[in-house]
A and B are shown apart, each in its own frame.
Chain A
């Protein structure tokens, strides 16, 4: 069996999308890997995106983020959040044609014994020192359920046209 398998790929059209979501994810892989190239319509330099699993909007997420805006470093955390946030994307007042990069690893997503960890790496350079932003966010979903639905949503506004999303199932050695 191939190591990397495309589960789903989508691109936002001209009307924008509030979120990307993939349901009915099988349990046949060892890990999930997600990449996106996104921009958000909100009138700001950057806006957070957030991740949810299995449509769970309860206070079942814990996150820790380390990021830089320009030359300043910041840390963010939330130990009873409704989702995994602190995952920023360029928005309407960022330079034109700038889309941010995001990748997310979700190891052992289908196990039913442990809570699920997600490691998110994201960022973009923006042509303005004060508004460049990048960081890493560790997210914990405090559920032992197998992940069968993955959602990435704009914190406000919608994802712009040409935003792309790809979800992979990744296998180890058999």
Chain B
């Protein structure tokens, strides 16, 4: 890729004169899920700095603990007590029930998060939390405890815009992380290297910026991290901790886990690592050159004081972020595709795990459950013939009338709660098509691509759409049917898959 900027100027703020409709659309599609006309208008009139303040607020709206998670937490101590006195056979049954309840709660939590993230005011912040969850990965498949997974996301959300070392320290105490990377198995005389390795390789520094000996000694520093039986709260067990001298990054001392995190952030590579992950998540699947990453990294460690808010503001406000070579060529993640459609079509996320999470899994991304400790690779890895078929199927579902008869009793209850409270719509109503029905085919096609596509489609595609709309245009019912189908085809097009 040819970059239009040099490393020193790349991270300077975007000049005020360059902030226009196109720039606002770019920011909204990349930092949130969609760029509706009203949102674009508001952002342009407010200006970039005010828009960033609004997208990443000082006090983001809290995510109330999902009821199933609360119930599980509440019942757990009694559950464990019962198990302690039971026979082995009953113990197994109880354990299975616990795991099953946890699975249901995690799926419920997944949909609730999608609903939260679909609200335009929350979109940028929740997308940022999703990004952090792809860095500080835990997999529910191994953690098997919904309360731990929820707590992990609470930790990420609470520290999302605060100091990066504090967030890393909080994550090292996250019960889900303790289990996922075997910290609970890490003992003074039998260190388990799993956490220490991923801390350096994936969370803080990146490959090539540490030695095997650094990992071995760092693992010793993280001994003694334990979870309290019953409550699952983090506790430090001094007797399990290896208090001896360790040598990490050339420094020798009787380091604790927190010391190791501080030492890692003193490495120059730590400044560049998170921006590198951000660029891969928000900007481009082609890695930025090292001098660009070190450029923002050095400033982040200096004037930015390793504050995540500084990093977000600098990144999304930079000349580089808005450079022409980064416009309209980034492949949407499955979550972005889904929530972008929901926002573009003015819909609500249907509060039924099966109907939301299954399509996401088929497209290759389940929130809270990355495929492995590396998180989601993104870019072209999202796209293959199977995932493209699944993407098109999502469009078909959102345009098909919502059929409540296929729901289970529990699902109906959830849907009714939302319906009564918010008069929600889960699929595209006829009313959505009204403003389009009076337009000529030429105008429909032009407006569809202007409003919903980040790049112009091929001429052959537009011709095909126009022809399709002209046929049967005299018959109102047939015209509406064709209008609906033409819109669906635009959302199923290759061009809609990029932003």
Do A and B originate from a single complex? no
